[in-house]
Chain A
């Protein structure tokens, strides 16, 4: 099976936040939680660049390593998903995650964390695919329908790429070759222990 990854070409990202909006809308993500966000480095200065970031579905995922109740599981596509019925909202995955992907509703005792929510790569959770209960907990399951994540699908500049890691890496390499520059694949070194040429 393919190893699914995200890649954000920061030389193309125009910080329009369409991916953020698409994600919120597709999964009806609650107020206060952002599964995807756009971070602008050096905002307003020459050389500023924006990167759309969500869960990178890491190889040897740190979140899964530290979870005290071991509620994470991997899929055939290399995705890192979690079971909200098992999560206790301790926050450890957020401490360990290099990308700040895990988010929590503030519903626990004393304003503490509720069950963790993060990007599912539009692949839902352990419930029956595309069932109502899966939608309520994790949002829609586009992967089960044979579709790619909506954020990347509707990126107007095709800065955000989703799909098989090798294919999107080759698309990116081709772009770099053609235009003669590129700042690399953000997060790839940290998430996949792999770098793409700049």
Chain B
């Protein structure tokens, strides 16, 4: 008690205490000892604020205030509509909304408070269409295209047999592909075949392989196959780009190609003239480059889902990838047939880089003329 009294005495008496004691004779210990909390700097005041002595209304400080003008409503006035009765609010009905979206497509979505904003899609009836594509269209069309190609080629081989070199082998060869061209071709070829096989395992393995080897073994195989598919995408794409650089010039379409097609192309009697690549080879080239780019871009979008955080786009990426893969595989099966057992003398071009002179004369007459003319020029120049 004594300590409290002493503390009070020591307080600077200019502020709150002095005010509280107004009316009392000053000097000496105050009779009222309940110290009202000081309104000081620490409390947001100015440090010497007055403590009101009574609850009478205080006069306004700081001079007269400007009269407040009530805000005027904007013209024209927008009436605030009364809230809809609760029972009639937002007349959405789940079943009807789902039916409508299932009919017309489009997702039912809203806001979510989790970081994954893609989760805002509540219902995406398109999943049903994509399921139909995956389980019916892609697998059935893929099987039909691939098996159909194999059957047609088998029939062709049995009925017509391989296309022989009409003049027979000359015994002399002409240089057709450099070592870099061949290495690049085989890099693309090997990765394509493995991409195709691992991809087909994704499409058909469940129905074909899984019942035979069992669920665990099939997952182990597919798991490895998926990694192979992903890693081989890089040599495939790099090789494809190298093909663009190496063979673009020789694959630009020209008038000769029109004549080649008009003459009947591969069905023609005799051999219509062609440059380094004939029109069919050019068509395959552009198909593989274009299709390869589409398959690669869509493949990477599937592979790294972070790139496309939207289920609808991912479905489209898969549709493009699956369809492109199937038609490219069919085309490449045809390419493999023509390049191996279908045409006498063709395979050695990519194996050794040399083709028989007569083969070159028959299939690529204009190219041979060019090569000979160039050889003569250099020979003359060297003289």
Q: A interface vs B, CB < 8 Å?
A: 10, 15, 17, 20, 32, 34, 37-43, 46-51, 53, 62, 65-71, 85-88, 90-92, 94-100, 104, 106, 109-113, 179-181, 183-190, 195-196, 198
Bound together, the chains give a CA A2 to CA B98 distance in angstroms of: 26
Residue of B with least CB distance to A70: B206
A46 touches B90 (CB 8 A): yes
Chain B's nearest CB lies how many Å from the CB of A119?
13
Tell me if B61 is interfacial: C-beta within 8 Å of chain A.
no
Bound together, the chains give a CA A85 to CA B114 distance in angstroms of: 28
A41 touches B92 (CB 8 A): yes
Chain A's nearest CB lies how many Å from the CB of B131?
4
Q: Given that A187-B123, A189-B95 are known contacts, is A32 also in contact with B116, CB under 8 Å in the complex?
A: yes
Bound together, the chains give a CA A46 to CA B81 distance in angstroms of: 11
Residue of A with least CB distance to B230: A109
Bound together, the chains give a CA A156 to CA B91 distance in angstroms of: 25
The digit string for B82-101, where 1 denotes a CB below 8 A from any CB of A, is 01101111111111101100
Residue of B with least CB distance to A41: B110
Q: List 28 A-B contacts (CB under 8 A).
A: A15-B113, A39-B120, A46-B90, A48-B90, A49-B90, A49-B92, A62-B128, A66-B130, A71-B215, A86-B215, A88-B226, A90-B226, A96-B131, A96-B134, A100-B119, A104-B305, A112-B304, A183-B90, A184-B93, A184-B95, A186-B94, A187-B98, A187-B123, A189-B98, A190-B125, A195-B94, A196-B95, A198-B93
A190 touches B114 (CB 8 A): no
Main SS class of interface, B: helix
Q: Given that A95-B315, A97-B127, A195-B95 are known contacts, is A37 also in contact with B216, CB under 8 Å in the complex?
A: no
A183 touches B226 (CB 8 A): no
Q: B interface vs A, CB < 8 Å?
A: 83-84, 86-96, 98-99, 102, 108-116, 118-125, 127-128, 130-131, 134-135, 202-203, 205-206, 210, 215-216, 218-219, 222-223, 226-227, 230-231, 302-306, 311, 314-315, 318
Other-chain residue from B94, B131, B227, B314 in contact with A62 (beta carbon distance below 8 A):
B131
B303 touches A110 (CB 8 A): yes
Other-chain residue from A34, A65, A96 in contact with B114 (beta carbon distance below 8 A):
A34
Chain A hits for B206, CB < 8 A: 67-70
A187 touches B94 (CB 8 A): yes
- A-B pair number, CB within 8 angstroms: 182
B99 touches A189 (CB 8 A): yes
Chain B hits for A68, CB < 8 A: 202-203, 205-206, 222
Other-chain residue from B116, B119, B215 in contact with A70 (beta carbon distance below 8 A):
B215
A98 touches B127 (CB 8 A): yes
Bound together, the chains give a CA A99 to CA B116 distance in angstroms of: 14
Bound together, the chains give a CA A104 to CA B314 distance in angstroms of: 15
Bound together, the chains give a CA A48 to CA B113 distance in angstroms of: 15
B314 touches A91 (CB 8 A): yes
Other-chain residue from B89, B102, B135, B304 in contact with A65 (beta carbon distance below 8 A):
B135
A109 touches B205 (CB 8 A): no
A180 touches B318 (CB 8 A): no
Residue of A with least CB distance to B317: A95
Chain A hits for B305, CB < 8 A: 91, 104, 111-113
Chain A hits for B87, CB < 8 A: 179-181
B125 touches A183 (CB 8 A): no
B112 touches A39 (CB 8 A): yes
Other-chain residue from A47, A95, A110 in contact with B92 (beta carbon distance below 8 A):
A47
Chain B hits for A94, CB < 8 A: 311, 314
Chain B hits for A187, CB < 8 A: 94, 98, 122-123
Bound together, the chains give a CA A46 to CA B113 distance in angstroms of: 19
Q: Given that A39-B119, A95-B318, A106-B306 are known contacts, is A46 also in contact with B124, CB under 8 Å in the complex?
A: no
Chain B's nearest CB lies how many Å from the CB of A93?
10
